[in-house]
Amino acid sequence: MFYAFIASLLIILYFNYQKSKKSLHMLQQNWYNDGNRYLKWLFKSLKDNFLNLELLMALYIFFGFTEHYVYEVAIAIVFYLLLTVIIKDKAKKEQNKKPLVFTKRVKRLVVTSSVLYIVPMAIMCYFYKESNMYLYYLIIALMVYLNRLILLLCIYINAPIEKLINRSFRVKAIKKLRSMNNMKVVGITGSYGKTSSKNILSDILNVKFNAFPTPKNYNTPLGLILTINNYLDKFNDLFIAEMGAFKRGEIKELCDLVHPTYGILTTIGTAHLDSFGSRENIQKGKFELIESLPSDGIGVLNMDDPYQVSYKLQNNCKIVWIGIDNKDADVKASNIKLTKDGTVFDVTFKGDKNKYEFETKLLGRANVYNILAGIALGKELGLSVEQLILGVRKVNAVEHRLELKKGNGYYIIDDAYNSNPVGSSMALDVLDLMPGKKVIITPGMIEMGDEEYNLNKEFGKHIAKVCDEVILVGTNQTKPIQDGLKEMKFNEKNLHIIDDVKLAFGLMEKIKKGETYCLIENDLPDIFNEK
């Protein structure tokens, strides 16, 4: 009986490891519970996380366990073997938009959680008594059932270690930055467009300088630290640091780390309204970048953004204003012409009567603002107009941000990275310019706080004006969009609601007709998956 008990423990451990991979994945996507994001996911998915088959086993042991131990051990072995098959099959079918990465931090969590599970099991084996079988299985079943919460406990257990590791990385990064006296830092923040603006600025500045942008979306303190320690070298003239935030004070923390001389503020909107708490907090949080610049620094602001124009800046650094609609902007775009091949527009500089034509492969009005910011800062850093024109022409499309691709018999406008009220509206405007049939695939916008329903409903109304066919991903998530479409009397025959984005592309094969353009607007992370 003892060896059969040990065999059951090994099977249970293996099942728990398979379950832990999902828990770790969600922890990673939720910034390791920063701002209680993982906890919010747990409660949002209460049914899937806690009303499951493991609960059934725990209840069976509590109420139905007998003294026929051979029988009970056999039930445990068969039950957890079946659960293992089910969970592995489910994992194969799930579409992971951003898979779990086994970073060193994840590996440390695996070690900590393994200790929490293996030590009690080892004690049970060492002091094994057949008469205690009921208690053993009850403890084990409850621990497996509470796997999601135990991994959260591991976050708190590991917190002192993580703090020490991060501090050592931080000290190393600060020393490295101090040794690079000739390198200047550009900070970029905003509610939307940070990554696009960063990559555009890098392409423009690299016509003259050796500029290095933070890779991917490395916009947290750890992201900047890793970039400095692993990527920057003595040959870099400029370090372009993307700066993200979920609440006030986080941009200031990033500025205290890298000390930017130049700053670009893209757009102030409602992204992460839940965590910021109010639009005023978002506004003040984003301006922490500009207010951290030295007196001889330069800030680039958007004169078409009322939240930037109305802000009372507590800094005397030089400010360069960009704009499209506001004639008083220092660097202004006009005569914007969008085609499926890109965008052409004129730029004027305050104090210069000439108009200069710029062309880019990028699509959309939002990208014109991002390019204007790059042009404005490039000019302040000494690039000639000819160099700026060349730089803008060389700008590469940013992956998943209004990126035009060739699909299977149709064109894809890939704006899947994320979605916001300004960006989604501009993406629809781009789609509207395209010839032929127009389709959208979207799950809607998230993390918009109390405004989320109304913003998504307005999004639905806009979709109704532009699109011939609509594919919505997530029945519950897209309810506001559905309401907006109904209000605009959109043809229900052309509305398709699915719960798995993988089905959308099969559907596209059926509904494409002639020259068809499909806008993919947002691709929610797995924490919002309704499947």
Q: What is the distance between the alpha carbons of residues 406 and 512, in angstroms, rounded to a whole number?
A: 13
Residue with tokens 């008990």: 5
Q: What is the mean pLDDT of residues 498-508?
A: 84
> Residue 356 in 3-state DSSP?
strand
Mean pLDDT confidence for 367-393? 97
The pLDDT score that the predictor gives to residue 97 is 64
CA distances from 101 to 155, 175, 493 (A): 17, 29, 41
- What is the helix (H) or strand (E) element at residue 8, kind and residue range? helix 2-29
Q: What is the pLDDT of residue 527?
A: 44
Check residues 81 and 68 and name the one with the higher pLDDT: 81
CATH of region 403-528, choose from 3.30.420.40, 3.90.190.20, 3.90.78.10, 3.40.50.1000: 3.90.190.20
Task: Provide DSSP, 481-515.
Answer: HHHHHHHTT--GGGEEEES-THHHHHHHHHH--SS
Per-residue pLDDT of 450-471, as tens digits, reads 788 999 999 999 999 999 999 9
On the question of pLDDT at 10 being above 80, the answer is yes
User: What type of residue is 257?
Assistant: L
Give CA–CA dist 221/203, Å, rounded. Answer: 24
The larger pLDDT score, comparing residue 123 to residue 501, is at 123
Task: Please give the average per-residue pLDDT across 403-429, as a whole number.
Answer: 83
Q: How far apart are CA 169 and CA 165, in angstroms?
A: 6
3-class state of residue 189 by DSSP: strand
Residue 471 phi/psi, 5° resolution? -115, 110
Whether the per-residue pLDDT at 210 is higher than 90: the answer is yes
Helix 147-179 vs helix 104-126: angle between axes, to the nearest 10 degrees? 140
How far is residue 5's CA from residue 70's CA, in Å, rounded to a whole number? 9
**Cα–Cα distance for residue pair 81/210, rounded to 1 Å:** 56
Flag the least confident range among 57-61, 243-247, 273-277, 390-394.
273-277
Segment 53-65 shows an average pLDDT of 87
Continuous segment of H or E residues that includes residue 187: strand 184-189
Q: What is the separation of C-alpha 106 from the centre of its chain, rounded to a whole number of angstroms? A: 19
CB 15 within 8 A of CB 80: yes
pLDDT of 43 reads 85
What does the buried/exposed string (b/e) look like for 467-476 if buried means 16 or more CB atoms within 10 Å of the residue's CB? bebbbbbbee
Alpha carbon separation from 51 to 19, 290, 475 (Å, rounded): 15, 48, 21
Return the CATH architecture of domain 181-394.
Answer: 3-Layer(aba) Sandwich (3.40)
Q: Give the predicted TM-score (pTM) of the model.
A: 0.79
Report pLDDT digits (tens) over 151-191: 999 999 999 999 999 999 999 999 999 999 899 999 999 98
Neighbours of 264 (CB within 10 A): 31
pLDDT of residue 524: 57
The identity of residue 415, as a single letter, is D
* 37 vs 115, residue with greater confidence: 115
Q: Is 447 helix (H, G, I), strand (E, B) or coil?
A: coil
CA distance 371 to 389: 11
**Alpha carbon of 519 to those of 92, 364, 443, 453: distances in Å?**
27, 13, 12, 21
List the domain boundaries for the chain. 2-160, 181-394, 403-528
Q: Are 2 and 69 in contact (CB under 8 A)?
A: no
- What does the mean pLDDT of the chain come to? 91
Structural tokens at position 423: 């960006």
Measured CA to CA, the distance from residue 240 to residue 267 in angstroms comes to 18
For residues 316-323, average pLDDT: 97
Question: N- to C-terminal Cα distance for the chain?
Answer: 41
- For the chain, helix (H) and strand (E) counts, in that order, are 21, 15
Q: pLDDT tens digit string along 256-292?
A: 999 999 999 999 887 777 778 788 999 999 999 999 9
What does the alpha-carbon distance between residue 352 and residue 329 come to, in Å, rounded to a whole number?
13
Q: How far apart are CA 264 and CA 511, in angstroms?
A: 42
pLDDT at res. 95: 63
- Per-residue pLDDT, averaged over 397-414, amounts to 82
| Exposure b/e, 359-372, CB count within 10 A at least 16 = b | ebbbbbbbbbbbbb
DSSP 116-170: HHHHHHHHHHHT--GGGHHHHHHHHHHHHHTHHHHHHHHHHHHHHHHHHHHHHHH
If residue 440 lies in a helix (H) or strand (E), which one and from where to where?
Answer: strand 437-442
The tens digit of pLDDT for each residue in 72-129 reads 999 999 999 999 999 998 888 776 667 899 999 999 999 999 999 999 999 999 999 9
Q: With a cut of 60, say whether residue 525 has pLDDT above it.
A: no
Beta-strand pair 331-339/262-265? unpaired
- Name which of 63-72, 173-182, 302-311 the model is least confident about: 63-72
What tens digit of pLDDT does each residue of 328-360 get?
999 999 999 987 778 999 999 999 999 999 999
Q: Give CA–CA dist 191/421, Å, rounded.
A: 11
